[in-house]
Structure 1
């Protein structure tokens, strides 16, 4: 349940939804940068779930109590939880904004809670963003059940294999589908080429978080 309504008819900025297969619902976003964040959370194997506008946080700004609505709550595969704020680097250069988020960060730190701020520098870096867009798109184009480690090893013939060989055996769509679900591990921050090494994840999912 959202702490406040995200998508309204007011304002001149982007308001829209990101279709999440991981959550099986539409995720409300207040900016294109938030949509990019939702995409990276979606394809991060180490992210179990995420929730936009999850709560209202009351923090002390030095003079009074203020309300803060984090953009996302993120639950990781290791059980940890953190709140995520999405801001442009331009906005963070404002003294008023910087002072506000310094107070918010202190609030989280004093309570032992996780808090992160990400900008376009993390969310829109290439080739990660393009790779994430391709993975997300192709995830919806295959209904093949996810195989076990032993089934994958039998299909591929090795625990580590090049992208070209995996693609020739399983098909590109299936390879990207397995990468997105953390069953095949690779570095999506690097270009996906025929020589990219893929590793079958044994004993659990890939804990990678792409932000």
Structure 2
């Protein structure tokens, strides 16, 4: 690189690392803490918090509902193996002016690909200052062979379905011993209600449904997320879909 691109990130133990883009250790960034502290105060307009991701079994910080939605989709995605919020601060020249920016997310994919994500509502993403900033970030990411994504939302039905399924993402909150029976019922039934009815004589729906939904979250069962989930939602074994 002709001009070094400075990067600052925070390791898992809280120590900061000052380096250049070409020397960033992706695994350290993915496992690290947000590079800047989050502020909470009464009257704050933004919706902030922490989300416990199954990806990496760790807490991920978010500063808006839109960021949380992107994190939920990343946590649900089979191909994402690492998620970091506010992963690093990058400082570099942009046509004679110095820019500094902290992107919202860094995603690590199973194939080794890295995606840097900036989350902005559609109206703000079109503002000239952000268009310039995004173009600059995209160029920097290309230097390292990373993807850059500006995310302004997705199909609201898909997002709400994933948000609902996330309530069943943790194995310890469901009756995992029912998984074999749910999967066996799924081989002979075509929808959520059918699986529940097939097991009704042995187990209550209050136990079967959470187990079923966890299997959907974990990718063992598949459903059409583009339609609202219900008892008539078709369910298939992922192995059958892949086959």
**2:166 pairs with 1:136:** yes
Root mean square deviation of aligned Cα: 2.9
Distance 1:6 1:204 in 2: 43
SS at match of 2:176: coil
TM-score norm. by structure 1 comes to 0.78
The unaligned stretches of length 5 or more in structure 1 are 206-211
The unaligned stretches of length 5 or more in structure 2 are 1-31, 200-207
What does residue range 28-39 of structure 1 map to in structure 2 within 5 Å?
28-39=61-72
1:95-143 deviations in Å (ceiling 9; x for gaps): 11111111211222343211111113x2xx3222221222111334314
**2:192 pairs with 1:163:** yes
Which residue of 2 is the match for residue 182 of structure 1? Answer: 219
TM-score norm. by structure 2 comes to 0.69
Distance 1:60 1:204 in 2: 48
**Count of aligned pairs between the two proteins:** 199
The 1:163–1:59 alpha-carbon spacing in structure 2 relative to 1, beyond 3 Å, is farther
Which residue of 1 is the match for residue 239 of structure 2? Answer: 202
Contact 1:60 1:107 in 2 (8 A): no
Contact 1:85 1:116 in 2 (8 A): yes
The 1:12–1:96 alpha-carbon spacing in structure 2 relative to 1, beyond 3 Å, is same
Max Rg structure: 2
How far apart are 1:59 and its partner, in Å?
4.1
Distance 1:166 1:97 in 2: 48
Contact 1:51 1:74 in 2 (8 A): yes
How far apart are 1:86 and its partner, in Å?
0.7
